[in-house]
Structure 1
Amino acid sequence: MALSMLSSLLFSSLLILLLLLKPSVAIYCDEDDCYDLLGVTQSANASEIKKAYYKLSLKHHPDKNPDPESKKLFVKIANAYEILKDEATREQYDYAIAHPEEVFYNAARYYHAYYGHKTDPRAVLVGLLLVVSALQYLNQCSRYSQAINMVKKTPAFKNKLKALELERSGGVTNKKKGHKQMDKKVEEDLSNELELQIQGAEKPSMWNLFAVQFLLLPYTLGKILYWQLCWFWRYQIKKASYTWDDACYLTRTCLKLPPEHWENINDQMKDDLVLKRLWEKNNMENYLAEMRKESKRRR
């Protein structure tokens, strides 16, 4: 449904853009022909174009001719000359004349030629990061809000609310309400106290945005490099024993568990897994064999 709506929206936007765009040739000299404005043919060389421009400028320049209409015509003539005196823009204009149906391609070439070199690439990068980050944050907010609304409808969440209400009231319930639904304001206040961790729809955070991550990239890379050097020095050079945290990291990596999954494992199971030293090949193979046997036994 969402994909279909997005496709329809994109199609409508492209259709509107197509209607608003001027014809390929008109983006250069409006409705006029650049060659006609200078009084030359399309086969004229650079010298002929230059002579034609100077001749017309003597006639229509505001300093020579105060007529307002003549001033407007001079602006058009000057624009036509700017287009035709440059080989690159003249080639683009000639292509637009020969292929007027390629509206988007001709428009893209025109705007790139006139505005592309004037735009600082750094400004473009910053603008792009800000736009993408804004869309990313809005998407996170939307997903989190939808997930929270779904969780609030589950019996498990309602039971947590009732337990929290009893805890706040010291175990005394409101007899007038009995088993009826609790007050909306109370429910909202209690809901705000519950920290909901929903996998795949985490609470929106500025630290996860592309723009912030890009700014922190040097620090992140430096931190990773420092960690790698410390690891190499401690365990490869000095041959020290693994600390508990590092042993947990190796175990989690061998099991290919995300950090949040590892945190949800109880301490006893963590101890058992770490003591198995699964980062050693033989131990990992034996563990996998045990898991397969256990799986078959359960079937």
Structure 2
Amino acid sequence: MKAPPAPIRWPAFILIVVFSVVISPSVAIYCDEDDCYDLLGVSQSANASEIKKAYYKLSLKHHPDKNPDPESKKLFVKIANAYEILKDEATREQYDYAIAHPEEVFYNTAQYYRAYYGHKTDPRAVLVGLLLILSGFQYLNRWTRYNQAIDMVKKTPAYKNRLKALELERSGGISSKKKTQKNMDKKVQEDLGKELELQIKGAEMPSVWELVGVRLVLLPYTLGKLLLWYGCWFWRYKVKHHPYSWEDASYLTRTSLHIPQDAWRSMDEGTKEDLVLRRLWEKPNLESYLTDMRKESKRRR
């Protein structure tokens, strides 16, 4: 009896078929079914100068402007593609590796698509573009918030009263009985509203200098200015032991109490003077002040 035929191992058979079909495309993705070197008529060991000369020689022969034959035009496209691959050292190296290692299908394919379909934009241009986009969105967002806040404030009775008082001031205290706040001319409202300084905490008017892109560009200048400021501070108050100026004492007071600069600016001068004279940057004075404030708060309750 004849021995039964050996059973086909399907997984191994499938792998063989797949590799037989797929291995060649790992090289073919560059110049289709052709060899890039053969298209230019050079050997794989040809240098860059030889490749360039071969391309120019073939382009003079097959360029559509020189040769109207449709087949010649198709060949010129292949020649130009082969030259683009071989003139660049990186893509030529990848192509040579694909020729030497056709079994590494997935690696060769990934390298090809990375070279031809990956981003070739200068990273610096990408960074500048992102900064411009972020700065634009930041500016628009702040303008939107500011306008929304202004619209809300203009609907409050306090704003309308201030507007009415300003109108009376401009008209010399004479107001028509027929002309009320409700039917005040819109142009008059806009003109008077521009004279009222509306400072809304958390929704200040946007400034170009606060944009992230501008701040990043000015970062070296800002750091240099900061280092100079710290150097002058150390020399004046740590080495020379001069008394604090009013501006520097105000800065120390504000930072000790964690008061934002806008809030400090909007305080009345008497309150600021009282706080500065307390020398709250000194720990005992600050603790005593905070204790007094807590007692005052409990007493009010």
**TM-score past 0.5 threshold:** yes
Q: Mean Cα displacement is larger for which, 260-269 or 128-137?
A: 128-137
Q: Say which of 233, 247, 254 aligns to 1:245.
A: 247
Match of 2:47 in 1: none
Match of 1:46 in 2: none
Compared CA separation, residues 79 and 241, structure 1 to 2 (3 A): same
Match of 1:214 in 2: 216
Cα displacement (A) at 1:257: 0.7
Q: Mean Cα displacement is larger for which, 214-223 or 226-235?
A: 214-223
CA offsets 1:83-124 (integer angstroms, 9 cap, x no match): 4852347889x99x749xx9xx997764446x24xx3x4444
State how far apart, in whole Å, the 1-side matches of 2:75 and 2:156 are.
Answer: 73
Match of 1:256 in 2: 258
The answer to whether 1:87 aligns with 2:93 is: yes
Unpaired runs of at least 5, structure 2: 1-24, 43-53
Compared CA separation, residues 230 and 63, structure 1 to 2 (3 A): closer
Aligned residues: 251
Compared CA separation, residues 296 and 91, structure 1 to 2 (3 A): farther
Q: In 1, are the aligned partners of 2:39 and 2:78 still within 8 Å (CA)?
A: no
Q: In 1, are the aligned partners of 2:253 and 2:275 still within 8 Å (CA)?
A: yes
State how far apart, in whole Å, the 2-side matches of 1:160 and 1:90 are.
Answer: 80
Q: Mean Cα displacement is larger for which, 63-72 or 193-202?
A: 63-72
TM-score, scaled relative to structure 2: 0.70
How does 1:1-299 map onto structure 2 within 5 Å?
Answer: 33-38=29-34, 49-51=36-38, 53-54=40-41, 61-65=58-62, 66=67, 67-80=69-82, 82-83=84-85, 86-88=92-94, 98=106, 110-112=116-118, 115-116=120-121, 119=122, 121-178=123-180, 180-299=182-301
TM-score, scaled relative to structure 1: 0.70
Q: Mean Cα displacement is larger for which, 207-216 or 187-196?
A: 207-216
Compared CA separation, residues 231 and 109, structure 1 to 2 (3 A): same
Indicate the RMSD between aligned Cα atoms, in angstroms: 3.6
* Identical aligned residues as a percent: 57
Compared CA separation, residues 267 and 108, structure 1 to 2 (3 A): farther
Unpaired runs of at least 5, structure 1: 1-28, 40-48
Specify the SS of the correspondent of 1:182.
Answer: coil
CA offsets 1:22-67 (integer angstroms, 9 cap, x no match): xxxxxxx9xx94353415xxxxxxxxx5235527x89x94544422
Aligned residue identity for 1:233: W
Cα displacement (A) at 1:205: 2.0
Q: In 2, are the aligned partners of 1:38 and 1:77 still within 8 Å (CA)?
A: no
